[in-house]
Amino acid sequence: MSFSLNGPPRLITSEIPTPCATAKPAKPANSNWREAVRPFQRPSLWRSAWQLTNSIGGYALLWIGMYFTSQISLWLTALLAVLAGGFLVRIFIIFHDCTHNSFFRSSKANEAWGTITGILSFSPYHQWKWEHATHHAHSGDLDHRGLGDIWTMTVREYQESSRLTKLRYRLNRNPIVLFLIAPIILFVVIHRIVSPGASRKAAHSVHLTSAAIIVLAAALILAFGWKAYLVAQLTILFVSSGSGVWLFYIQHQFEGVSWERNEEWNFAEAALQGSSFYRLPKILQWFSGNIGFHHLHHLSPLIPNYRLEDCHMTHEAFQAAPQVTLLTSLKSFNYRLWDEEERRLVGFSHLKKCHAAAPVD
């Protein structure tokens, strides 16, 4: 997912040693990964078609169910909307694959279905594609943060920031803001705005998506009534956007993640050590469209989501990627800053330890 609660696009890059320094671990050995992923980069028309059918079809059936339950109880409508939110996450993964031209062999088919699934998930196809490509090009590169990622500062950057910047940063990294409030703002508001530097094609996709969302919302309001529509749509968006941001967060902010400065950054290492293998129960793996195999997705975005698991099982280097489970992922709630000297994510409490360890003049 392309997500940004941006601070300055280019943050302070001071590398003055802090008192919390430790030895830098050795990098993992490279492997011949290109040959290993190539057989899995071919989309299957029938598998793509079936995924579209069960995802959009299931989502449509739930909207029909919500229409009938809205005449009985809005609580029942909200319950169905929670499930519909899970289906919308899966639809977003299809949208995501289309932006990588990995869901169909045809670029036109990817663009057409990417636009449709983008409207359903409140995401403009061409603008999101551009921002997400930037994320892939620089993921794990400490010198290229600010577009398509979650605002993350280093310990030194935070220490050197103004009080206002520190306050903004703490607010942005608060879990309630990050996973409940910000996702709604992102999909409902920010995705309606043309990003600075976006192409004319990207700008058109923003306006087209927004217009289509308004037309679709108007039709549903006529069918449901405004109150039932808001209960259904807002519940769906809270579930889907919050889940999506959490998935994006845990894929790059977990215990053992590896980030580097640009001169030491390596594409394959950034993918296999800077993106997690989020091992989810099968039902959640289905709803999340296998995006938990994120290390492989970053290694080769051309692999369709339904081939990621098969690819993962073929190579020892893929299976050696950092693994995160539902239980261990909860630790990531406490991660706020990147400590360049200790080479790990830390919480704000870590600042007190560094301050206590600082030498007295």
Give the rounded distance of the alpha carbon of 345 from its chain centre: 18
pLDDT at 355: 57
pLDDT at 9: 34
- Residue 45 pLDDT > 90, yes or no? yes
Backbone angles phi, psi at 41, to 5 degrees: -90, 5
- Residue 152 pLDDT > 60, yes or no? yes
HSE value, Cβ hemisphere, 13 Å, CA-based, for 350: 23
Express each pLDDT in 171-192 by its tens digit.
Answer: 999 999 999 999 999 999 999 9
pLDDT at 51: 98
Helix (H, G, I), strand (E, B) or coil at 55: helix
Express each pLDDT in 279-316 by its tens digit.
Answer: 999 999 999 999 999 999 999 999 999 999 999 998 88
Please state, rounded to an integer, the average pLDDT across all residues of the chain. Answer: 87
For the segment 140-152, the average pLDDT, to the nearest whole number, is 83
- Residue 141 pLDDT > 90, yes or no? no
Do residues 260 and 276 make contact, with C-beta atoms less than 8 angstroms apart? no
Domain ranges of the chain: 48-357
pLDDT at 148: 74
Express each pLDDT in 254-265 by its tens digit.
Answer: 998 888 888 888
